[in-house]
């Protein structure tokens, strides 16, 4: 059940400034830059994994299991941090999360440049993961509440599309500098951004409820009724294909390239970079399409269909050329380029007293789903081969996403000035 809140003055009328001026408010710009640094730091370990582990004395035979161990440690940090920052975002405010998360992951990434053992690396990846977990959810929540509802989709898509380009910077920085310096640069960018955030203002919608006698950030409240839980679960399910593409198709792209008999070996870092370029374009496009169609659900359904078609091409159409393969990585990135739309839908589904909790935990639970997808992929691969195994897993994730979308509430243009009882 929901209880309407008194309208904040800024919601009583549409601003008279141009669309661009409305979008380019300081909270939107800073949230976009924050997510840019967040993605840079999130993907940097995957890019410098081999180089850094070699320098730490890890043998070739231990390279893969050690890398998986460190990635899983970072993922554990994301899951823990998602819950912590989500609760704090509703209890203390969106800005407290934006400041706290970037401070933690910036310092942790600087410290990553000084590691001398795998155990030190693991501890710091855990801390960095906890810090990285808060950035996107708090940023999307703040932007969704600050912007007029009529242009909310443009703002959240702008945040994600700018942010996802952090993956491109990470690739080029790691290629140009030693891995330790790449960590120093990422941490330094975060601390510089922290200075910019001094001028960011809190959401008026959140400020309105801060003094009200209402439960805020109660994570367990999401499980108090079947309808509440199903609404939350649907938000998670629709994001699964994004991490099937990123965590399976891109991570194991060299193995897929080999199975497809491409003319040259595929470089995983390059495949990820091209996918994230597609993601950035897709996120901007999905936001624009949702504004044009006045619907979040229709656009998400179209992007899921496009993703399904491109997965079939990726796995079963003989491409032969590695160049064409990388172009398809861009296409797949575009297909799952509804990441911002998916987090926006999650934020719009729930009242102000639970919004940050949901918008922060949902994307991190989706990221964490890779820990279920990887063993399933290995199981299917063992029975069906790498291409058919990935095809079956892709079919499952996309079908589950459509199931989640099926009974989901349409939230386009929804007034966010309400509470969850």
Q: What CA–CA distances, in Å, run from 321 to 78, 214, 246, 318, 331?
A: 36, 59, 21, 9, 15
Question: Does residue 102 form part of some domain?
Answer: yes
CATH code of 104's domain: 1.20.1250.20
Q: Can you give the pLDDT at residue 92?
A: 86
Measured at the CA of 383, the angle between CA 378 and CA 384, to 5 degrees, comes to 95
CA-to-CA distance for 68 and 163, rounded, in angstroms?
Answer: 25
- 206 belongs to a structural domain: no
| Count of the separate structural domains present in the chain | 1
Q: Which residue has the tokens 């994004």?
A: 242
Q: Greatest CA separation found in the chain?
A: 65
Give the model confidence (pLDDT) of 264-305 as tens digits.
999 888 898 899 999 989 998 998 899 889 999 999 999 999
DSSP percent split of the chain into helix, strand, coil, nearest 5:
75, 0, 20
Boundaries of domain holding 228: 21-200+217-420
- Give the N- to C-terminal CA distance of the chain in Å, as an integer: 6
Q: Partners of 420 in the beta sheet? A: 2
What are φ and ψ of residue 66, in 5° steps? -70, -40
Does 353 map to a domain? yes
Pair 49, 24: CB distance under 8 Å:
no
**Angle separating helix axes 297-316 and 386-406, nearest 10 degrees:** 170
Residue 209 lies in a domain: no
Question: From residue 410, how far is each of 28, 64, 238, 349, 401 by CA, in Å?
Answer: 24, 43, 14, 9, 15
Asked if residue 334 is part of any domain, the answer here is yes
Would you say 366 and 244 are in contact if contact means Cβ atoms under 8 Å apart? Answer: no
CB neighbour list of residue 35: distance below 8 Å, 6 or more residues apart: 135, 136, 139, 159, 160, 162, 163, 164, 166
Give a yes or no: residue 236 inside a domain. Answer: yes
The token pair at 134 is 């808060």
1 domain-assigned: no
pTM to 2 decimals?
Answer: 0.86
Residue 191, domain member (yes or no): yes
The pLDDT tens digits along the chain (421 residues) read: 444 444 444 343 444 456 777 777 888 888 888 889 988 988 888 888 888 999 999 998 888 788 888 888 988 899 999 999 999 989 888 888 888 898 999 999 999 999 999 999 999 999 999 999 988 888 888 888 888 888 888 888 888 888 888 888 998 999 899 999 999 999 999 998 888 766 677 777 777 777 776 788 888 899 988 989 999 999 999 999 999 999 899 988 888 999 999 999 998 888 988 999 999 899 989 988 998 899 999 999 999 999 999 999 999 998 889 999 999 999 999 999 999 899 999 999 998 889 989 999 999 999 888 888 888 998 999 999 999 999 999 999 999 999 999 989 998 888 887 777 7
How far is the C-alpha of 335 from the C-alpha of 306, rounded, in Å?
6
Please, what is the angle between helix 26-55 and helix 135-146, to 10°? 170
Enter the tokens of residue 127: 């801390």
């Amino acid at each position: 059940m929901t209880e309407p809140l008194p309208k904040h003055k800024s919601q009583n009328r549409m601003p008279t400034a141009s669309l661009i001026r409305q979008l380019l408010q300081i909270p939107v710009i800073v949230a976009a830059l924050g997510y840019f640094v967040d993605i840079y730091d999130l993907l940097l370990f995957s890019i410098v994994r081999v180089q850094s582990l070699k320098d730490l004395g890890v043998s070739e035979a231990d390279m893969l299991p050690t890398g998986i161990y460190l990635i899983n440690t970072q993922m554990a940090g994301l899951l823990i941090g998602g819950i912590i920052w989500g609760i704090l975002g509703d209890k203390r405010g969106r800005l407290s999360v934006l400041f706290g998360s970037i401070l933690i992951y910036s310092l942790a990434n600087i410290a990553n440049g000084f590691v001398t053992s795998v155990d030190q690396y693991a501890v710091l990846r855990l801390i960095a993961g906890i810090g990285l977990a808060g950035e996107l959810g708090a940023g999307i929540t703040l932007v969704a509440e600050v912007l007029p509802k009529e242009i909310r989709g443009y703002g959240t898509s702008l945040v994600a599309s700018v942010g996802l380009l952090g993956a491109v910077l990470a690739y080029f920085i790691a290629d140009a500098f030693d891995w330790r310096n790449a960590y120093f640069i990422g941490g330094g960018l975060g601390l510089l951004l922290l200075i910019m955030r001094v001028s960011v203002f809190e959401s008026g919608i959140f400020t309105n409820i801060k003094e009200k006698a209402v439960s805020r950030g109660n994570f367990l409240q999401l499980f108090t009724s079947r309808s509440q839980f199903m609404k939350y679960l649907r938000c998670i399910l629709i994001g699964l294909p994004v991490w099937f593409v990123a965590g399976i198709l891109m991570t194991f792209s060299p193995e897929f390239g080999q199975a497809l008999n491409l003319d040259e070996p595929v470089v995983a870092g390059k495949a990820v970079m091209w996918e994230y370029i597609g993601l950035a374009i897709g996120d901007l496009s999905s936001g624009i399409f949702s504004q044009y169609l006045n619907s979040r659900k229709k656009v998400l359904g179209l992007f899921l269909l496009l993703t399904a078609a491109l997965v079939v091409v990726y796995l079963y159409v003989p491409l032969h050329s590695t160049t064409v393969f990388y172009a398809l990585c861009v296409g797949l990135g575009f297909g799952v380029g509804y990441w911002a739309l998916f987090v926006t839908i999650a934020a719009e589904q729930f009242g102000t007293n639970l919004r940050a909790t949901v918008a922060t935990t949902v994307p991190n639970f989706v990221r964490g789903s890779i820990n279920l997808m990887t063993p399933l992929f290995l199981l299917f691969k063992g029975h069906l081969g790498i291409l058919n195994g990935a095809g079956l897993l892709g079919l499952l994730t996309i079908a589950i996403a459509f199931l989640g979308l099926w009974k989901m509430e349409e939230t386009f243009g929804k007034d966010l000035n309400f509470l969850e009882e």
